[in-house]
Amino acid sequence: MAALYLVPYLEGRREDAFESHLRKGASAEISDGVRPAQQPVDDHRCNWNTGITKPSAVNVAHIGPLYRLVGLMNARVEEIFRDDDQVFDSIADLIPNPDNPTPMLRLGPRFNPHAGYEILLKLEGMNPFGSIKDRTAYFMLKGLHLKEGQSLVEPSAGNTGIALTALANAQGTPIEIAVPEGVPEEKKALLRLLGAELIEVDDELCPIFPSEGARGVVKSMVESEAYGGQYVSPNQYESELNVAAHYHTTGPEIWRQTNGNIDYFFASIGTGGTISGVGRFLKEMNPNIRIIGVEPDKRHHRLSGLKRITDLPEEHFPTILDRELLDDLVSVSDEEAFKAGIRLARTEGVMVGPTTGAVLHAAIESGAADTGRAVLISADNAAKYISDYARYLDD
């Protein structure tokens, strides 16, 4: 007889159409030789992760640590799954917002040894294009008004370029991306997969000079009379929409997910959009929350997208970074960042990019002296950095 197995899950899932159907009378037969439970399963005692979220009114059979629900293969699918509100018309509809947030994960003692210092990791790698830059790209494109025949062009260390290209594809807009040569090959491959016209430039991993390198190339394409206004750049390095994306989505999500119970917020610094937008929102909600920026410990580094702002000339300082929000700034080396990312994968099973490793290292170091709850931004996952991680892997 066909069987459906149920496994435990965390509380908070809503009753769905499948459960509703079951509650209205779908029968659950019990296989021969197995005694059915005499009492309904206590909803407060145990929850389950199968789409049947609170099976308290359903007959179940005890089989070791699992429960089996059998005899349901005759259910009418059209009656169970009547709603189509989880079907989207565009990939852009999957960009997170306060009503559809990216998940937050509490790190356990295998990674975080500080009992009085809770670390919550917001997993932005769960965005549809794999990074927190999906939010920025979405907001910036919404703010652009392209004329017929115009194309997009943008300097990027990879993540913004990937998100912009995917969203541009979804609306039928041609796009070119200028990237530093040192950008991980995985990011370049994804951009080519998406069909972006790739312009590789001798530049630092986070394009630093407004008039040179990747940013300079894009600036000349946008401003040159030779192109006749063909190119438009969203300009993540100077666009207030970069900040707005996080003020209106990431910040409120964090506040809701923690019920406002947060003492520290950690984020790495690249364009400055994330830490400025989230930091501004959180400070408005509670001025006592400490905003902590994380930067590379030297100008030439392997942390794609990050910028060292310590001792940076004023003309090269991130335009949209609100320095007044920063309560502290922590410098992290390449090795510390990559090693922290590896340790997280091997203790928690969570695979994150090296910039997340930098934030994790900074938070763990701070936790040795502090107590309270810290929320960390995990900007992306490890998939785009496998070749970079390889040099730090032990045999």
Q: pLDDT tens across 100-138, in order? A: 999 999 999 999 999 999 999 999 999 999 999 999 999
Mean of all residue pLDDT scores within the chain: 84
Q: Can you list the alpha helix ranges (DSSP code H) found in 236-306? A: 240-245, 251-257, 273-285
pLDDT above 90: percentage of residues in the chain: 69
Average pLDDT over residues 285-301: 96
Neighbour count for residue 329 (Cβ, 10 Å): 16
* Model confidence at 46: pLDDT above 90: no
Distances (CA, A) of 80 to 16, 77, 101, 168: 9, 5, 26, 36
Specify the higher pLDDT residue, 216 or 211.
216
Of 161, 163, 201, 194, the C-alpha closest to 177 is 161
pTM for the full model? 0.79
Q: pLDDT tens across 306-334, in order? A: 999 999 988 889 999 999 999 999 999 99
* Model confidence at 160: pLDDT above 60: yes
Q: Which helix (H) or strand (E) holds 79?
A: helix 77-80
* Number of residues assigned to the chain: 395
Q: pLDDT tens across 31-45, in order? A: 444 444 444 444 443
Distances (CA, A) of 241 to 33, 143, 172: 63, 8, 22
- What are residue 55's phi and psi, to 5 degrees? -80, 45
pLDDT-based confidence at 212, cuts 50/70/90? confident
* Sign (positive or negative) of CA dihedral 133, 306, 272, 229: negative
Q: pLDDT tens across 251-260, in order? A: 999 999 999 9
pLDDT in the model for residue 58: 43
Q: Can you list the alpha helix ranges (DSSP code H) found in 224-333? A: 240-245, 251-257, 273-285
Q: Which domains does the chain have, with CATH numbers?
A: 1-87 (no CATH), 91-128+240-390 (3.40.50.1100), 133-232 (3.40.50.1100)
pLDDT in the model for residue 45: 37
